[in-house]
Amino acid sequence: MRIFYFNANSYKIKTDKNKICLITRAIAVMTAVALFCCLVTDAHAGEKEQQDPSLQLYAQSAVLMDAQSGRILYGKNAQDVLPMASTTKIMTCILALEYGNPEEIVEVSSYATSMPKVKLYVRQGEKYRLKDLLYSLMLESHNDSAVVIAEAVGGSVEGFAAMMNQKARDIGCYDTYFITPNGLDAVVNDNGRIHSTTARDLAKIMAYCVTDSSAKEQFLEITRTSGYDFTDADGKRSFHCNNHNAFLGMMKEALSGKTGFTNNAGYCYVGALESEGRIFTVALLACGWPNNRSYKWSDMKQLAAYGMERYHYRDIHEDREFEDILVINGIDACSGKPYADAYVSVRVDDRGEKELSCLLAETDRIEVKTQIEKKLQAPVVENTEVGTVCYYLNGDLIRRYPVVTTGQVEERTYGYLCKYLLDLFLL
């Protein structure tokens, strides 16, 4: 949080009204800027890096994330923008599953055949089933298959890149910029932006793929397959793909993942694991260069063990009851007498949630804060929000429940008083 100071002693201020007015405006502007900076800081409060000196990682940038909440459980340079190589292909795959037809027969363009290794060596004019190319993409990381998929689903590589960037924004990844569907190093000449992401964004994209996407089951089926055989649409050429995600064989909790490497990006990895109902995602960027391809597996196992050992679900929900609130100038519904105090009862509007599970470590701090009006002014209608119950995790807001009225209170108007007196006289 930035704090701005205004030192009046450093200026000669005359008592001219116009100058005083200008100075007042200047202070108002500076205050607004300071408040804006605070808001921007608070907007990212739930994404603070949680570093632990006990972890010694090779990766220049790394994140361990709770896939269900998006909370960063461990971060090392989590917001550094870096190239991500073939980990890009998790986005290519999930988009193709969501917006393409896996059974569609797609044709190979000359541009697709020009891709460098690693490749399936498709030939211009050949036709393939889209689903088969997705296995080629995710198991063997074939760069030419990625382009065939992109052109089929997005109309062109550029069109597909636009879809990738829009999906990234929809997920909440604003530091990611896709140019290619395969992750090859690329730069846009007009603005100098490179094909890149952050460990935080990459972990979030993987979390989307395995928890939130409508195509998550298909994604998991493809990325967990150890081997796959297929042919081109005409049955003239046969292919076999092996899954190069070695992490699937390292831990029984392994759920999914994708490797990557380019000269600029170094070795990269993004993976997911599931244990006792917990789903973690891990992203590793710039995790060594040849001959250090095993570094990513060391980092992945460290972060996986760190998450499983430290973080467990705990129900932090607390039942809350409140006293009735005094309603000024209201009519007591029970007696109907103008001199009786009127009250309205309130409740927490938790929409039936009687449990609030949160992935916590022993060092995490939960705080529940309640704010509620002490008095209300008549009239009061039912379901009027009069307060809040807020849950904070390490100072960050994670859940807000409104407190609402359960009934209504009418106003004690002049007309009501006249009618009340008239009824008494008639009795």
pLDDT tens, position by position, 284-331: 999 999 999 999 999 999 999 999 999 999 999 999 999 999 999 999
Tell me: do 133 and 176 sit in the same domain. yes
Confidence of residue 24 (pLDDT cuts 50, 70, 90): very low
Tell me: do 35 and 173 sit in the same domain. no
Instruction: Tell me whether residue 89 is in a domain.
Output: yes
Average pLDDT over residues 18-22: 39
Residues 6+ apart with CB under 8 A from 290: none
221 pLDDT more than 70 = yes
Tell me: do 301 and 422 sit in the same domain. no
Count structural domains, the chain.
Answer: 3
186 pLDDT more than 70 = yes
Instruction: Tell me whether residue 51 is in a domain.
Output: no
Instruction: Tell me whether residue 53 is in a domain.
Output: no
Instruction: Tell me whether residue 73 is in a domain.
Output: yes
Tell me: do 38 and 121 sit in the same domain. no
Give residue 258's domain range. Answer: 61-310
Instruction: Tell me whether residue 330 is in a domain.
Output: yes
pLDDT digits (tens, 9 = 90+) for 357-405: 999 999 999 999 999 999 999 999 999 999 999 999 999 999 999 999 9
Confidence of residue 51 (pLDDT cuts 50, 70, 90): low
Instruction: Tell me whether residue 49 is in a domain.
Output: no
261 pLDDT more than 50 = yes
Tell me: do 236 and 342 sit in the same domain. no
pLDDT digits (tens, 9 = 90+) for 133-174: 999 999 999 999 999 999 999 999 999 999 999 999 999 999
The amino acid sitting at 354 is K
Instruction: Tell me whether residue 319 is in a domain.
Output: no
23 pLDDT more than 60 = no
